[in-house]
Chains A and B, each alone.
Chain A
Amino acid sequence: MIIFKVAAISLAGIRLNSVDHYSRDLSGLIKGCGAGIVVLPAYSSLVLGLGCGAFMSGPDFAGTLYMFSADSEGWNSLFFELHSTLARKNKIFLAAGTTVETEAGGYYHSAYCFNPAGEICCRQKQTHLTQVERELDFTRGEVLELFNLERLNGGSLKAGLVVGNDARHPEVSRIFALLGADLVLCSGALEAGINCWPQAAGMWAQVQQNQFWAVEAQLSATIAGQKYGAASAVIGPCEITPGLSGYLARGYPDTPAVTAVLNESDRQNIKSSYPLLKMLNREAYTGLLSL
């Protein structure tokens, strides 16, 4: 029986005013969670860079993101090194949230995951851009990467990283599911307010139509005066969650971390008794092949 303990961290309560504080607070929280797979939210790199004064805030989110994007290269090296160390010291898979990186002249919103050896085990570029990101001339990723999450005592799950806005685009989750993903690690950032509905229309809906697990970390922080905060969650098919809600665990926007245990045999059972993906009717989808 494959069982994984997972955690989604919002960065609420984590001191961002220095890399040292961030590292210590996050390490303490990770240890407290006791999870083997930990997910940080979107824009983790940006909020840390702003918090510790490496970057200036712009007049608004778009302006701030623009300034960060233009000058993130050196910062990213530090960001990767920091999270590589956190993954290695805590012997965990750490989906470190997202940053913006430049490649071949294009800006990409990318997520990184580090394995317990501190190596990058997955880098995922966001494949669907928001209006703001398109206006900032961001580039879309064109590849979806799957990687293995192995446990020290045996067993592994196939996983993919879902970056920000990709959670709302069902094509991403469907591709992951049909390529064999058991689990997706989602780094998100939603403006604070009544945002339970956009969240439900995102990762929750994708879990229900693909029957994989999702660990969704939502950012709790302020960027350029705009507060971000939504409920981090661990999501599974309704049938194997309390109250049939689809949530194994769900926090509030300012909850530092939510944790849950994934029992893979429960998921395999529901996939077997209600085989949603086997009931796809590919004959009817030829219109999608001409997109």
Chain B
Amino acid sequence: MAAGSFKEKLFQRYLIWLCRPARIKKHLRARLPSDRKPVPVDRCRIRAAALQLELNLHKSPFDYADEMHRRTREAVDRGAQLIVFPEYNNLQLMGMLPGIEKIEENYRDKDSANKEAGGGGEEEVNLTDLYRFMSPVVRPLVHTVFSSLSAAYGLYIMAGSYILADNGEIVNRSFLYGPNGELIGSQDKVHLLPVESGWSLKRGSSFSVIETALGKLALPVCMDATYYETFRLIELAGADIVLLPIADQQEYNYWLALRGIWPRVQESALFGVKSALVGSVAGFTFTGRAGIFAPLEITPNSDGVLAEVEPFDSEAIAVADLDLEALARLRADHPWRDCNSALYRKYFPQIYRL
């Protein structure tokens, strides 16, 4: 779908009208509490929730808003002060496109045919065009939904990441909302998957660390956790908690899933909250297990896991308390971590030269 023709422009305007902030706010206002009671911040016990979202295509922005609200409410009921949504949290909104079921059906048919034939899929739908087309619809909708939810419940919400157009470029961007509903941070994915490079995504070139009442938060995206550099830079910028949205396009395997945030949390002595998108759409299948991770030294079972959901392909939630004071004590008196500046000065200019 190229966003060029008159019909397409008209339809895009219709979607923008359908998702206009005033309409979404009104819808949510009727459902959200008006008497929020923010939980006081205790640095020894910050309750975080990592959501695992099942991918469902929504035909209406109200359905999307209701779904995000339902999952937020689920976390709030568990006492969460910090909620993390997954990567590609706008895929559900593709359901508003007419004919999306047909596209999906084609992908499914082709996928099974390819599997039988042992061949690879040939892309017919230009996803970059779809993301560009939906971007002016998605952006205000997402902002309205998560701003309203965070303000209504007085908590921090990392809204997940979204593929959006920005100044002519396409980016995969995560957003963080504060307890007054304000957007307090965003982060463009810095390390792209080959498939994302194929969609002509522009990668980010730095990492944000946001100071909040819950400590310093960072919000890299999925593949960023494959690289130690991400977490080291975030740690050097003073981060305490990393909020990582993922959407892993692979069959679930324990070891493959272990390669991301878990070792990075060990290397850089941080807390890690991983949310996951699971399910299938348009030929893509996502798996994962949302979880909350910490250095081995401060987890009860010495396994680096504070909480992790069981299923890898259905909705779930992981909730755990993060003790920032314990983290600070560990960092100050760490049994094995060390820094060798002379070594880094010798090699980094060579290996990281542009």
A140-170 interface bits toward B, Cβ cutoff 8 Å, 1 = contact, 0 = none: 1111100000000000000000000100111
Q: Complex formed: what's the CA distance from A209 to B342 in Å?
A: 23
- Interface status of B344 (Cβ within 8 A of chain A): yes
Which A residues, 9 to 62, have Cβ-Cβ distances below 8 Å to chain B? Answer: none
Contact with A along B328-354 (1 / 0, CB 8 A): 000001111111111111111101111
Q: Which of A165, A281, A288 contacts B344 (CB 8 A)?
A: A288
Q: Using known A-B contacts A288-B232, A288-B352, determine if residue A208 contacts B338 with beta carbons closer than 8 Å.
A: no
Are B266 and A142 interface neighbours, CB within 8 A? Answer: no
Contact status A142-B348, CB under 8 Å:
no
Q: A288-B352, A291-B341 are in contact. Are A168 and B302 (CB under 8 A)?
A: no
Contact yes or no, A208 B263, CB < 8 A: yes
Q: Considering the chains assembled together, what is the distance between the CA atoms of A130 and B348 in angstroms? A: 22
Q: Determine if B259 and A284 form an interchain contact, defined as CB atoms under 8 angstroms apart.
A: no
B-facing residues in A191-205 (Cβ within 8 Å): 194, 197-198, 200-201, 204-205
Give the distance to chain B from A172, nearest Cβ to Cβ, in Å.
8
A103 at the B interface (CB under 8 A) = no
- 1/0 per residue, CB under 8 A from A, across B288-329: the answer is 000000001000001110000000000000000000000000
Q: Is the interface of A mostly helix, strand, loop or mixed?
A: helix
Number of A-B residue pairs with CB-CB distance less than 8 Å in the complex they form: 143
Say if the beta carbon of B109 comes within 8 Å of chain A: no
User: Nearest CB to that of A280 among chain B residues?
Assistant: B227
Chain A residues with CB under 8 A of B232: 170-171, 288
Which of A73-81, A83-91, A240-248, A251-259 lies at the interface with chain B?
A240-248
Is A287 in contact with B267, judged by CB distance below 8 angstroms?
A: no
Q: Is the CB of B266 within 8 A of A283?
A: no
| Complex Cα spacing A200 to B336, Å | 15
**A1 interfacial by beta-carbon distance below 8 Å:** no
Nearest residue (CB) in A for B250 is A244
If A197-B296, A209-B228 touch, does A243 touch B255 (CB 8 Å cutoff)?
Answer: yes
Whether A276 sits at the interface, judged by CB under 8 Å, is yes
> Contact between B354 and A201 (Cβ–Cβ < 8 Å)?
no
Q: Which residues of A contact B266 (CB under 8 A)?
A: 168, 201, 205
Across the interface, which residues of A come within 8 angstroms of B191, CB to CB? 279-281
- State which size class the interface on A falls in: 35 or more
> Once the chains are docked, how many angstroms separate the CA of A244 from the CA of B257?
10
| CB of B265 to closest CB in A, whole Å | 9
Indicate whether B180 reaches chain A with its CB closer than 8 angstroms: no
A209 touches B351 (CB 8 A): no
A2 and B194 alpha carbons, distance in the complex (Å): 28
Whether B338 contacts A284 by the Cβ 8 Å rule is: no
Q: Which of B194, B203, B262, B335 contacts A131 (CB 8 A)?
A: B335
Comparing A93-101, A114-122, A174-182, A226-234, the segment that makes contact with chain B is: A174-182
From B5-13, B144-152, B204-212, the one touching the partner chain is: B204-212
Cβ contact within 8 Å between B302 and A194: yes
Taking the closest CB of chain B, its distance from the CB of A244, in whole angstroms, is: 5
A201 close to B229 (CB less than 8 A): no
Complex A-B, nearest 4 residue pairs according to Cβ-Cβ distance, in ascending order:
A205-B263, A170-B228, A201-B266, A178-B351
Question: Footprint of B on A, CB under 8 Å?
Answer: 127-132, 134, 140-144, 165, 168-171, 174-175, 178-179, 194, 197-198, 200-201, 204-205, 208-209, 238, 243-246, 274-276, 279-285, 287-289, 291
Question: What are 27 A-B pairs with beta-carbon distances under 8 A?
Answer: A130-B336, A131-B333, A140-B338, A141-B343, A142-B343, A143-B343, A168-B267, A169-B267, A169-B338, A169-B340, A171-B228, A171-B232, A171-B344, A174-B228, A174-B229, A200-B263, A209-B228, A209-B259, A246-B255, A281-B190, A281-B205, A282-B353, A282-B354, A283-B205, A288-B348, A291-B341, A291-B345
- Given A129-B338, A276-B226, list of 19 further CB < 8 A pairs? A134-B338, A140-B342, A142-B343, A144-B343, A144-B347, A165-B338, A169-B338, A175-B343, A179-B347, A197-B296, A205-B259, A208-B263, A238-B255, A244-B255, A275-B194, A279-B192, A281-B203, A282-B353, A288-B232
